[in-house]
Amino acid sequence: MNTEPLTIDSQKAGLRLDHFLVQQLPHISRSRLQKFIKEQKVTVNGNHPSVHQFLKEGDIVALAFEPSETNEREKVGNTRNWKIDIIAEKPDYLIVNKPAGILVHPAESAREYTLVDYILEHYPEIKGVGEDPLRPGIVHRLDRDVSGVMVIARTWNMYEHLRTLFRDRKVTKEYEALVHGSPSAAEGDISFSIGRSKQGDGKMSAKPDESGKAAHTRFIVLESFRNYALLRVMPQTGRMHQIRVHLRAYGLPIVGDALYHARQRKNDLGAARPLLSAVKLSFADLTGAVQTYSAPRPEDFDHILESLRNSNTVKKKI
């Protein structure tokens, strides 16, 4: 792609280069654009910039990459096949119950329809909300195989408001998880720092020191079975895969979690995914009133839980 050079005007001055390019080329992911910058396929005033260079008024940005390198994401499947419940529809936000198995937003490695595609089909006005055109309205996310309640901004004011609440840890999130093991206490706190795994396998890892990012997870035991437990989990921070990593490091790996507990797959009660679901979300709306929304456990989770309750393996309920 050899386009006419782009001159930065006063409205674009101050933007970071990769953010500017995302605005100009919304059909290309930010990670792909960052890759082009690192490969020196983008110049600013004739020089090869860094990804994080901030632009000034009058700067000239030139692009040089082949059309084949910028193919729009080929979407496989269709979100119309998914049952996505809209829990609440407000003028400035939506509350959805995300099913397990669907990505929240497009990813470089995945060529498929996502929750974002579904939302844009039904609420096209959200398209311009947010800093990243590939993630309109998205202020938090759930892993592909995790189900549950999410909030999606419908307006810029709500987007910025929610971003601030999440940043300042003023959003209350509660999950339920079925785990291997028997907790020794009715509740617990986990505070291992979290960083990238040194194995280079895309996983996160709990650190015994402060070499990772600070992370804090609280849990309460709801029911205890022989070799299993149902937990209410309250993450106090929002690190990638935090609950899955923390529970595994604490000795309570989530049932069905093939990524962080692959060795136990044969003993996972028939679970095809991690049995983890976001069941409650609370936040203050634009008026300051606290809003609380909940979503039920999905059927596959409930089915396995009921089989445990009916198999004479119950130790106690808390």
d(CA 195, CA 211): 7
SS3 108: coil
Cα(80)–Cα(83) distance, integer angstroms: 8
Residue 213 one-letter amino acid? K
Residue that the structure tokens 């300042």 belong to: 168
Question: Of all helices (H) and strands (E), which one includes residue 61?
Answer: strand 60-63
Catalytic residue numbers, as ranges: 143
Which residue from 280, 293, 275, 295 is spatially nearest to 223, judged by alpha carbons? 275
3-state secondary structure 229-297: EEEEEEECCCCCCHHHHHHHHCCCCECCCCCCCHHHHHHCCCCCCCCEEEEEEEEECCCCCEEEEECCC
**String of b and e for 226-255 (b: at least 16 CB within 10 Å)?**
eebbbbbbbbbeebebbbbbbbbbbebbbb
Helix then strand then coil, in percent of the chain rounded to 5, is 25, 30, 45
- Torsion angle of C-alpha atoms 38, 206, 204, 148, degrees rounded to 10: -130
Handedness of CA 30, 36, 40, 46 (dihedral sign): negative
